[in-house]
Amino acid sequence: MFSAVNTGGIRGMDAYPVRVEVDLSRGLPCFELVGSAGSEVKEARERVQIALKNEGMVLPVSKITVNLSPADIRKEGTGYDLPIAAGLLACMGVFHASDFLHTAFLGELALNGEVRRINGVLPIVIALKKEGMDTFLVPAENAGECAAVPGIRTVGIRSVGELLCYLKADEEERQKRFPTYERESAGQVKGSGKDFAQVYGQESVKRAAEVAAAGFHHLMLAGAPGTGKTMIAERIPDILPPMTEEEKLEVSGIYSIAGKLQTEGLMEKRPFLAPHHTVSPQAMAGGGRIPRPGLLSLAHRGILFLDEMPEFSSAVLEVLRQPMEEKRVHIDRSYGSYTYPADFMLVCAMNPCPCGYFPDRNRCNCSPADIRRYLGRISGPVLDRIDMITEAAPVAVKDLYEAREAENTAAIKQRVLEARERQQFRYQKSPYHFNGELPGSEVKKYCQPSFGGQRFLEQMSEAGQISARAFHKILRLARTTADLEGREKIEQTHLAEAVCYNSGRRRFWNQISM
Amino acid sequence: MQKIKEVQEQQPFAHWLNGVEGIGGVWARKLVEAFGTPKEVYRASEESLLAIAGSSRLAGLLAAQKREVYKEYEEMDQEGILFLPYYHPEYPKRLLQIPDSPFGIYVKGKPPRDGERSIAIVGARNCSAYGRYVADAFARVFAREGVCVISGMAKGIDGVAQGGALAAGGSTYAVLGCGVDVCYPACHGTLYEKICASGGVLSTYPPKTAPSPRYFPPRNRIISGLSDAVLVVEAKQKSGTLITVDMALEQGREVYAVPGRITDRLSDGCNWLLVQGAGAALSPAQVLRELSETVWRNHQPDGCKAGAMTLGESTAGAGRVIGKATGEIDRQERALLSLLDFYPISVEQIYMMAQREKLLCALALPQLMELLWRLVVKGFVMDEGGYYGLKKPI
């Protein structure tokens, strides 16, 4: 007796369809599982047998062979329990597998017959939908993410009993007992309760944060301790433009694979990750024997915030290089290579020297060698990919009290959204989303300043010792400041502002060479 | 020891004697006086050395007698390094006058000439932008007036001053705490080359000697010894710069200090020197004028630059000259200029001040930044890595 049911597996970021073939034949009673199954997949034999027994189903005394096809791809994860159980039930004649050609099964079984959540449901569902599947039997806890994929029927399953119920029932009863899971419409995304209005002073740094958020530019905040670097960085996620549906699915897919997706369904807010500086390079890039997405990928389309950046190990900081350039992480293993997306906005904060007060010579006692060593921890290539290096200068207490009412997050977000719309329109026919993503070769095409602006930029670079290297960064930033103002032409104001966001590099990194 | 030829013949041995372990300037001199020439010291028997130098110095001398004198000297000679022992006609006369005058001095480039007026500019390595500016400005004026600048080629004030002197086309001499063929600090490679070409690098330590903290205080006495006056630009209360000042006072050199703000720790040393009676250096012209009335009263311009004291305009205002910039400025730009000072401040601070003073209130940050850069382009304002201040004179 032979039967086959559909399921899917994950390899790196890619999902692929898997057919679970089950055969009962005469011979010595045994339970074989073949098809490049990993150790946790092999354990499915025990879980399935016992779960079925505890639901009152006794396996026939015969030679049971399960094959996971295609047999040459290594299978990982626990999602094969439910399809194996379904395949066995079909072989035992409980239902006709031919009735379920367009149904996919996913889920892990507990010994008492319960169905438990698994990782990676969302990308599998998306991939199987492309293969023509229209009904998905998934663990009830994963139903939310599954239902986020439009145009399919999602059935949340709690136990083997429910599975049996579903399989045996006729269409009418099914519709009644197992209505398609409706995802609760995502309400207003909750803010963090942190508002820019709570930050007094540091107007220039707040403005820098706004520009960074509008153009998705990497931002570094350098400055003495207690100047509000962290406070401002924590408020950036709230002014970022919301994710598009496409982005939501993309980000949720990564979180699904990493097993970090909440039961409500998709990720509604852009990720904000702030790892501690003791994080390991593997945790950052992703890895493990079976690679999993690391923090860089979990920050995809969101913010990766590195507080006290020079305190991170140099290995971790070097890991940033490739993703900042290619927007993805590449991991190679002996049995294959994996690629995870990692298009994040880097926000980092740092003191300019070990004591934190450089270049204020009245307070800083660090020797030039100390400072060079400290600043040098951030390697040239990483530094080179950060468009904005802004100083958060110490704020006088007097200024804090005299500061007028600061602008709140909502007002800033409004401007960011408008700038975002302009970018969306501009890049609709190109692979880019934000100004910050433009490679040097495209800067000329999209960031051409007006005639007066061009002349002013040349004059500024002469007067202010701005290196030719910084030109692309300045033009990209000027594009964003112009977008924020709602202008298509890049004018003097926009360029002057962009030059100011380059000042930290001159202040800290150029000064140490003297 | 008078004839040049004889001096030349003795050179390898003089270099040898200067490098003997355990023999300092005083003893080297005593040995030469006792034996007649360095060559005789090299050839002296153990007994005679013991009789003169004593047992404690004997071992070093005996060990050194085994070295290859000519080879070492030739190597040095090929690299263009001179050795000037105290009896050498080119040995700087100023050094003969100082206590504990060195036995000899190595020179890469030219040795300082005795008739040349010279001022040492010294100060902190971790200097501020103010100190850097002042050192550069003073050195340039000194160089233009034909006064050579002597310093230690260290990071900070020393290097900036020597760089300024070179940029103005003057000559400058660096006294190192290591061999003259060792560039320390290494980041001053270009400066080192330039100093070798236009002036000279000097040291009392044999070539290839690596820098060591204990070598620096003795080299400070050479810096002050070679100069007519010592100008301290920035120094903390406890610093190596003040050692140079102590040496200078001991040697009877004039000491000038650049006053600083009493809130700046980097100016504490200078301000303290002023309290102690050092001359206040308010502008290069004033320092030059005062020196020409005292130390250089009998100075004969030796052809290096004619009309030495053409101070004229630069005397006016003693440093408080606002830089002349080009271009028209409008009302907004003028208002912004009124907020700025020579001491650079950040955009944030300027914005806050504008709010407080109710000037340019209506201006948002981007417009303020544009205004600032317009003034930078026009030459009224200096950008120092995101900090803006009025452009300084000179």
| Cβ partners under 8 Å of residue A30, min gap 6 | A63, A64
Angle at A472 between CA A468 and CA A473, to 5 degrees: 105
- The dihedral sign for the CA sequence A273, A279, A282, A288: negative
What integer pLDDT is reported at residue B302 of this predicted model? 53
- Residues B314-339: tens digit of each pLDDT: 433 334 333 445 567 888 888 888 88
- Element (H or E) spanning A365, and its range? none
Provide, as residue numbers in chain B, all residues whose Cβ is less than 8 Å from the Cβ of A367.
Answer: 125-126
- In 3-state terms, what secondary structure has residue A385? coil
**Tokens describing residue A394:** 């110490």
Range of the domain at A228: 196-513
- Among B264, B356, B386, the residue with its CB nearest the CB of A506 is B386
Structure-model confidence comparison of residues B308 and A342, the more confident one: A342
For chain B, give the number of residues: 394
- Among B125, B155, B369, the residue with its CB nearest the CB of A500 is B369
Q: List the single residue in A with minimal CA-CA distance to B345.
A: A393
Are A368 and B155 within 8 A, CB to CB?
yes
Report the distance separating Cα B141 and Cα B283, nearest Å: 9
What integer pLDDT is reported at residue B133 of this predicted model? 87
Q: Does B387 touch chain A (CB under 8 A)?
A: yes
Q: What topology does CATH give the domain B331-390?
A: Arc Repressor Mutant, subunit A (1.10.10)
Residue A487 has pLDDT above 50, yes or no: yes
What integer pLDDT is reported at residue A362 of this predicted model? 73
A406 in a structural domain:
yes
Residue B304 has pLDDT above 60, yes or no: no
- Residues B36-51: tens digit of each pLDDT: 888 888 888 888 888 8
Name the pLDDT band for B310 (thresholds 50, 70, 90). very low
Average per-residue pLDDT in chain A? 88
- Closest alpha carbon to A82 in A124, A28, A123: A124
Best interface-test mutation with B: which of A204, A227, A388, A460 has the largest number of B CBs within 10 A? A204
What integer pLDDT is reported at residue B18 of this predicted model? 87
Q: A485: distance to nearest CA of chain B, Å?
A: 10
- Closest alpha carbon to B329 in B378, B390, B382, B392: B378
Q: Is B318 left (phi over 0), alpha (psi -120 to 50) or beta?
A: left
What integer pLDDT is reported at residue B309 of this predicted model? 39
- Residues A359-414: tens digit of each pLDDT: 777 778 888 788 888 988 888 888 888 989 988 887 777 766 666 677 889 999 99
Angle at A452 between CA A448 and CA A457, to 5 degrees: 70
Residue A513 has pLDDT above 80, yes or no: no
Report the distance separating Cα A78 and Cα A27, nearest Å: 28
pTM: 0.72
Q: Does B127 touch chain A (CB under 8 A)?
A: yes
Give me the percent of chain A exceeding a pLDDT of 90.
Answer: 50
- Residues B109-152: tens digit of each pLDDT: 999 988 889 999 999 988 888 888 899 999 999 999 999 999 99
- In 3-state terms, what secondary structure has residue A350? strand
**Tokens describing residue A156:** 């949340």
Provide, as residue numbers in chain A, all residues whose Cβ is less than 8 Å from the Cβ of B384.
Answer: 507
Residue A495, domain CATH: 3.40.50.300
Neighbours of A24 (CB within 10 A): 19
Examine the domain organization and report whether A64 and A153 are in the same domain.
yes
Residue A492 has pLDDT above 70, yes or no: yes
Best interface-test mutation with A: which of B369, B382, B384 has the largest number of A CBs within 10 A? B369
CB A133 within 8 A of CB A6: yes
- The dihedral sign for the CA sequence B44, B50, B51, B53: positive
Number of domains in chain A: 2
Examine the domain organization and report whether A332 and A413 are in the same domain.
yes
Residue A151, domain CATH: 3.30.230.10
Examine the domain organization and report whether A330 and A432 are in the same domain.
yes
Q: Which residues of B4-37 are buried (b: 16+ CB within 10 A; e: fewer)?
A: eeebeebbbbbbbbbbbeebebebbbebbeebeb
Examine the domain organization and report whether A200 and A173 are in the same domain.
no
Provide, as residue numbers in chain A, all residues whose Cβ is less than 8 Å from the Cβ of B347.
Answer: 204, 500
Examine the domain organization and report whether A37 and A73 are in the same domain.
yes
Examine the domain organization and report whether A441 and A306 are in the same domain.
yes
Taking CA atoms, A66 is separated from A71, A77, A159, A394, B365, in Å, by 11, 16, 21, 67, 69
Give me the percent of chain B exceeding a pLDDT of 70.
Answer: 92
A23 in a structural domain:
yes
CB A266 within 8 A of CB A248: yes
Residue B14 has pLDDT above 80, yes or no: yes
Q: Does B135 touch chain A (CB under 8 A)?
A: no
What is the distance of C-alpha A80 from the center of its chain? 26
Report the distance separating Cα B349 and Cα A399, nearest Å: 9
- Residues A122-143: tens digit of each pLDDT: 999 999 999 999 999 999 989 9
Examine the domain organization and report whether A240 and A337 are in the same domain.
yes
Are A504 and B386 within 8 A, CB to CB?
yes
Are B366 and A511 within 8 A, CB to CB?
no
What integer pLDDT is reported at residue B321 of this predicted model? 34
Report the distance separating Cα A94 and Cα A303, nearest Å: 50
Residue A202 has pLDDT above 80, yes or no: yes
Least confident range of B262-276, B319-333, B354-368:
B319-333
Sequence ranges of the domains in chain B: 1-74, 118-300, 331-390
What integer pLDDT is reported at residue B393 of this predicted model? 61
Q: Does B155 touch chain A (CB under 8 A)?
A: yes
> What is the domain class of B1-74 according to CATH?
mainly alpha
Name the pLDDT band for B379 (thresholds 50, 70, 90). confident
Structure-model confidence comparison of residues A421 and A337, the more confident one: A421
> What is the domain class of B118-300 according to CATH?
alpha beta
Residue B394 has pLDDT above 70, yes or no: no
Name the pLDDT band for A278 (thresholds 50, 70, 90). very high
A95 in a structural domain:
yes
- Element (H or E) spanning B135, and its range? helix B129-144
Neighbours of A235 (CB within 10 A): 23
Structure-model confidence comparison of residues A184 and B254, the more confident one: B254
Q: Chain A interface residues facing chain B, Cβ-Cβ under 8 Å?
A: 201-205, 207, 361-362, 367-368, 390-391, 393, 395, 399, 402-404, 456, 459-460, 462-465, 481, 485, 492-494, 496-497, 499-500, 503-508, 510-511, 513-514
Please identify which residue in the block is written with the tokens 């007094």. A200
